[in-house]
Structure 1
Amino acid sequence: MDMEMWTKDGSVDRFGKPARRDISGGWRSGLLLLANQGLSTLAFVGVEVNLVLFSTRVLKQANAEASNTFSRWMGTVNLFSLVGAFLSDAYLGRYRSCAIFQSILTLGLVMLSLTTSYLLLKPSGCGKEELQCDPHSEFELAMFYLSIYLVAFGNGAGEPSIATFGTDQFDEEHEHEKASKNFFYSYFYVATNIGSLFSETILAYLQNLGHWALGFWVSAGSALFALVVFLGGSFRYRHFRRCGNPVARFFQVIFAAWKKLSVEIPAEDGLYEIQGADGANNGGRRIHHTSDFKFLDHAAIITSKDKINPTNQNNQHPRQHNPWQLCTVTQVEEVKCVFRLLPIWICTITFSGTFVQMVSLFIEQGASMKTTIYKFHIPPASMTVFDILISSTFIIFYKKLIAPFYTKLTKTIPKGPSDLRKMGYGLIFAMAGMLTAGFVEIHRKKYALEESEELSSLFILWQIPQYVLLGIGEAFVYVSQLDFFGSQVPDVMRSLGIGLSLSSISLGSYFCSLVLTVAMKITTKEGDLGWIPANLNDGFMERYFFLMTVLTGMELVLYIWFARRYKSISLERREDVGMENEMS
């Protein structure tokens, strides 16, 4: 039998049989999933890109209130990524998760389109700058919020699964497929940007002209097409069997370690681990023991109550034990991996907050600038196209041009900067982007038009540098973050690792909302208009941008401290697992 015909990473086909390399997975499946991601992103961003303007023009919210509405919604989108990742790893599996959550996304977009068409746009044609909409009833607003939060749940919960499912299509034990797997997250982000590009140009332009319902219906159609594309590859996809509830495994370690805190930790070979075929199931691998977070090692201490013979703990078929009293070294190391990742995760929250500004306050800033060139009107939301183009270009040419230049410049090993180092560079570019936005705002107010209450004669293209700088930072941080979090968690928690990465955007959004709320409360105490009033010419939005610059700088200092002390996960080789399985 030709062993090259079968995958070596434990993946199976849709019938649960070992996956054949020639008829499953690879780039045929990967390209379907990239197309699906592009179409799903087009659908989602069609709502995201102009939600702030929709809130001000259709729902008649003030600037700060609209920005907070968006930040809370965007935060919820990415918070749902943790929920979806947990359900995927523990119960549903990645394929079912993708199908279910994308169906919910489509349902939410159809509801939003119907709600906008028949409930919110009254009188007909309202939602433009010159025609305000009538006040809305509680029922109409409830239907609107239900719709956008269904969209949030469908998109947020499904994204970790689709990203991880894409990498599942490549066998990391095969040299050619392993190289493709390493590139997948980069192409995944490019596909995301391509989908965003259409929404942030064509759809943003239509919605800025007041064609809100049309824009939402296009998004709904794109989501439906994305679902059809995904289901079309059902017979080709590779799958991994579920490995149980990762959250339960996490708390089993905490509980078992707490119960045995008074027991002395033996030598490393005295801790409990299962060897042989029972030790690594469903494509999962054991993790080598590490010396940090030693209090967790208590969970792997064998006592007389555990009914395990210490001299026979490594046999092929160990007796069943209570997992809330005794855990394997691998299970303990899974928890250690999460603890090591948490400081890195926390230190990307403020960056995520700066990223959220591109689709909230940057748009409000652009709407208060000169947006016409000859007779063509540039939608403020379309300025994010510069972020998309620069980040996509940066990702595409990174391996061929940027990494080799970095290696030559720094005289380091050919691999270029590590994921941790790239995330640090991204924080620096984020600081530069927010600082630039602050100076642009000062410059914009200098050119405020006396005959207009809200506009400035400064041309909107002055915003390009801040979008470019944040785009480079985005390329550094988010691709590296996906790769890093996907590789630094155990096999049984890969979707949860990606979900943790994406959820930093959630906390960043909530953090921005909190900072903005506190800033507005403090600056409006004595009857002042505050930093971000309805008329930006009367406010000090640049101070908010400078505050975010300082906070990102503080986060960078903390990040460097934790990154230098980070210890990478140490997994056993799959070929070692295979040899043990053969021996068993």
Structure 2
Amino acid sequence: MSCLEVSKEGKFKEEAEEVTLDGSVDWHGRPAIRAKSGRWVAGTIILLNQGLATLAFFGVGVNLVLFLTRVLGQDNADAANNVSKWTGTVYLFSLVGAFLSDSYWGRYKTCAIFQGIFVLGLVFLSLSSYLSLLRPKGCGSELLHCGKHSSLEMGMFYLSIYLIALGNGGYQPNIATFGADQFDEEHSKEGYSKVAFFSYFYLALNLGSLFSNTILGYFEDEGIWALGFWVSAGSAFAALVLFLVGTPRYRHFKPCGNPLSRFCQVLVAAWRKLGVQMTSNGEDLYVVDEEESSTNSNNRKIILHTHGFKFLDRAAYISSRDLDDKKGGFYNPWRLCPITQVEEVKCILRLLPIWLCTIIYSVVFTQMASLFVEQGAAMKTTIYHFRIPPASMSSFDILSVAVFIFFYRRVIDPLVGKLKKTKSKGLTELQRMGIGLVIAVMAMVSAGIVECYRLKYAKHGTSSLSIFWQVPQYALVGASEVFMYVGQLEFFNAQTPERVKELWKCSLYDFNLTRELCE
């Protein structure tokens, strides 16, 4: 028995001291110990953080146009224009956050700093609304609009909402990747957990937006703006505290350098060597430099040479001038690039067509924000004496997302894995994205059928057809999101080179922000 106990103790000790295989490090910069860092402890903290931060942001963003018209006295055109500018600014700030994360700060520091700015903006908005903007008391509802405001009061308002844009824009593109960093993709069990994380991440985002679209949306629609903003500020503060509490458990990857300059270096170097003659076997290509090799353990993986986009291979061609430079201990990165750097650019070019296809999917959300709401407004929206706001029907979309995420992970994924009889579980990312597009088409067909019946029962501009006939089209849109958007997150996280991962995530964040504001 004593020998068995010693054997077990040694095994547990070995597992406790096992380091991750993907090169991640802990808070002190040491190789991350698997049992003491990351995994679902850190992942759950980040999921809760995402849900609370989403609630806070959309608690402001969803009804911002109503605040501008009812409280600040702007007309509909000016209010819509200002909200569009604000949304566009969030997009731009997402690029800033991604650039700083990739180049200098890393994901953890970027998330922490921008979340602090986010909380500051929400506190400023809550204070300015409570102390000066909501005057006379009780104004801001549909029946009672507020009076005029001074330039200082307007300046404080715009400062607060653009601080919110800066904080959320810089934080959001990084948090999903930082959450995925908590799972070692080189480990079989953690690799599968990493795939599951993206589904739960999207679920957390939807649950946060569900609360902001319903409860906070109701408060703000009734003119209780200050309470809604304070709830958003409290939620953002709780998200920040929760994020900081998890600091000892997080796994980190050090910044990989400026991704934009690396991309441009390949293009410039290839252009400079357009006239050179290269061998077909690739023996004259620059594989890797000493610095790249020494830092490869920090998740900077060497990418093997491929034969596509051959014109870019010229950037890695070693000319006589490059040989002379290397003998002197220096080479010009704008004339010679390692083949891994060239392959990173090739990866981006190969991903572009797939990314462009996903843009088409956003058309469905445009219809959900406009056509679906207009259709619902022309239907019977009352049950007994209770009126259902047409825009609130998007709650069925969010509920559908929650249901289908669990259904896919618990039913479809294991079933497909058994049928395929392979080590990889479930459908591939591209297969899911394709299924998502098909379901999106079904949603629009459903909306068209409902419209035909609405017109059939229409009298004097309204219809006796109940608004609940819209539930199937909203549910189908939600199901399509589970396949399309979650598959998109997983695909681009797996296929994008590490050095440009955050910048690429900006495009996904911009798509998702448009989706949520549409709801």
Q: With the length of structure 1 as denominator, give the TM-score of the two structures.
A: 0.77
More deviation, 295-304/59-68: 59-68
Q: Could you report, residue by residue, the CA deviation over 1:530-549 in whole angstroms, capped at 9, with x for unpaired residues?
A: xxxxxxxxxxxxxxxxxxxx
Decide whether the 8 Å contact of 2:140 with 2:223 is kept in 1. Answer: yes
* Aligned match for 1:374, one of 352, 367, 384: 384
- Matched residues in 1 for 2:207 and 2:186: separation? 31
Q: Quote the residue 1:291 is aligned against.
A: 307
Decide whether the 8 Å contact of 2:73 with 2:147 is kept in 1. Answer: no
More deviation, 331-340/487-496: 487-496
Q: Could you report, residue by residue, the CA deviation over 1:498-548 in whole angstroms, capped at 9, with x for unpaired residues?
A: 2232234578999x9xxxxxxxxxxxxxxxxxxxxxxxxxxxxxxxxxxxx
SS at match of 1:347: helix
* Aligned match for 1:497, one of 484, 493, 504: 504
Q: Could you report, residue by residue, the CA deviation over 1:222-259 in whole angstroms, capped at 9, with x for unpaired residues?
A: 00010000001111211111121111111111111111
2:49 is the alignment partner of 1:36:
yes
Matched letter for residue 328 of structure 1: P
2:317 is the alignment partner of 1:304:
no
More deviation, 263-272/241-250: 263-272
- Matched residues in 2 for 1:414 and 1:262: separation? 45
Decide whether the 8 Å contact of 2:429 with 2:488 is kept in 1. Answer: yes
2:359 is the alignment partner of 1:349:
yes
2:393 is the alignment partner of 1:383:
yes
Decide whether the 8 Å contact of 1:356 with 1:509 is kept in 2. Answer: no
- Matched residues in 1 for 2:354 and 2:134: separation? 44
Q: How many residues align?
A: 502
- Matched residues in 2 for 1:378 and 1:309: separation? 72
Q: Quote the residue 1:580 is aligned against.
A: none
Shift of the 448–138 alpha-carbon distance from structure 1 to 2, 3 Å rule, reads farther
Q: Quote the residue 1:517 is aligned against.
A: none
Q: Quote the residue 2:9 is aligned against.
A: none
Q: Quote the residue 1:565 is aligned against.
A: none
- Matched residues in 1 for 2:56 and 2:324: separation? 54
2:28 is the alignment partner of 1:18:
no
- Matched residues in 2 for 1:152 and 1:100: separation? 13
Q: Quote the residue 2:6 is aligned against.
A: none
Q: How large is the Cα RMSD of the aligned pairs?
A: 3.4
SS at match of 1:383: helix
- Matched residues in 2 for 1:371 and 1:59: separation? 30
Q: With the length of structure 2 as denominator, give the TM-score of the two structures.
A: 0.86
2:217 is the alignment partner of 1:240:
no
More deviation, 104-113/48-57: 48-57
* Aligned match for 1:320, one of 322, 327, 330: 330
Q: CA deviation at 1:274?
A: 1.7
Q: Quote the residue 1:398 is aligned against.
A: 408
SS at match of 1:339: helix
- Matched residues in 2 for 1:128 and 1:369: separation? 25
SS at match of 1:469: helix
- Matched residues in 2 for 1:192 and 1:499: separation? 16
* Aligned match for 1:330, one of 340, 355, 358: 340
Shift of the 203–498 alpha-carbon distance from structure 1 to 2, 3 Å rule, reads same
Shift of the 134–350 alpha-carbon distance from structure 1 to 2, 3 Å rule, reads farther
Q: Could you report, residue by residue, the CA deviation over 1:409-454 in whole angstroms, capped at 9, with x for unpaired residues?
A: 999997443222322332333344345556656766787786xxx9
Shift of the 264–101 alpha-carbon distance from structure 1 to 2, 3 Å rule, reads same
Q: CA deviation at 1:386?
A: 0.9
Decide whether the 8 Å contact of 1:49 with 1:359 is kept in 2. Answer: no
Q: Quote the residue 1:5 is aligned against.
A: 18
Alignment of 1:71-110 (within 5 A): 71-110=84-123
Q: CA deviation at 1:296?
A: 1.0
SS at match of 1:5: coil
Q: Could you report, residue by residue, the CA deviation over 1:13-44 in whole angstroms, capped at 9, with x for unpaired residues?
A: 11111111222111111111111111111111
Aligned identity (percent) is 57
* Aligned match for 1:48, one of 61, 74, 78: 61
- Matched residues in 1 for 2:379 and 2:139: separation? 23
- Matched residues in 2 for 1:42 and 1:86: separation? 25
Shift of the 111–433 alpha-carbon distance from structure 1 to 2, 3 Å rule, reads farther
Matched letter for residue 324 of structure 1: W
Alignment of 1:527-546 (within 5 A): none
Q: Could you report, residue by residue, the CA deviation over 1:39-79 in whole angstroms, capped at 9, with x for unpaired residues?
A: 11111121233334444544566667655654554444344
Q: Could you report, residue by residue, the CA deviation over 1:103-147 in whole angstroms, capped at 9, with x for unpaired residues?
A: 121122222223333444343323322223335566555544443
Alignment of 1:443-462 (within 5 A): 459-462=466-469
Matched letter for residue 96 of structure 2: V
Q: Quote the residue 2:492 is aligned against.
A: 485
More deviation, 9-18/111-120: 111-120
- Matched residues in 2 for 1:57 and 1:462: separation? 32
Q: Quote the residue 2:218 is aligned against.
A: 205
SS at match of 1:132: coil
Q: Quote the residue 1:254 is aligned against.
A: 267
More deviation, 372-381/410-419: 410-419
* Aligned match for 2:287, one of 248, 251, 273: 273
Decide whether the 8 Å contact of 1:273 with 1:279 is kept in 2. Answer: no
- Matched residues in 1 for 2:65 and 2:370: separation? 6
Q: Quote the residue 1:165 is aligned against.
A: 178
SS at match of 1:307: helix
Matched letter for residue 487 of structure 2: S
Q: Quote the residue 1:282 is aligned against.
A: 298
Matched letter for residue 418 of structure 1: T
2:123 is the alignment partner of 1:123:
no
- Matched residues in 2 for 1:136 and 1:434: separation? 44
Decide whether the 8 Å contact of 1:75 with 1:507 is kept in 2. Answer: no
- Matched residues in 1 for 2:132 and 2:366: separation? 29
Q: Quote the residue 2:7 is aligned against.
A: none
* Aligned match for 1:224, one of 237, 253, 271: 237
In the alignment, structure 1 segments of 5+ residues that lack a partner are 313-317, 513-584
- Matched residues in 2 for 1:80 and 1:460: separation? 38
Q: CA deviation at 1:209?
A: 2.0
- Matched residues in 1 for 2:152 and 2:363: separation? 32
Shift of the 455–93 alpha-carbon distance from structure 1 to 2, 3 Å rule, reads farther
Q: CA deviation at 1:100?
A: 0.9
- Matched residues in 2 for 1:65 and 1:441: separation? 32
- Matched residues in 2 for 1:323 and 1:412: separation? 43
In the alignment, structure 2 segments of 5+ residues that lack a partner are 1-12
Matched letter for residue 101 of structure 1: F
Shift of the 128–363 alpha-carbon distance from structure 1 to 2, 3 Å rule, reads farther
- Matched residues in 2 for 1:361 and 1:145: separation? 31
- Matched residues in 1 for 2:94 and 2:422: separation? 36
Decide whether the 8 Å contact of 2:45 with 2:243 is kept in 1. Answer: yes
- Matched residues in 2 for 1:63 and 1:446: separation? 32
- Matched residues in 2 for 1:91 and 1:249: separation? 14
- Matched residues in 1 for 2:62 and 2:368: separation? 9
- Matched residues in 1 for 2:507 and 2:52: separation? 23
2:99 is the alignment partner of 1:114:
no
Shift of the 206–438 alpha-carbon distance from structure 1 to 2, 3 Å rule, reads farther
2:472 is the alignment partner of 1:468:
no
More deviation, 351-360/213-222: 351-360
Q: CA deviation at 1:403?
A: 3.7
- Matched residues in 2 for 1:365 and 1:265: separation? 62
Q: CA deviation at 1:96?
A: 0.6
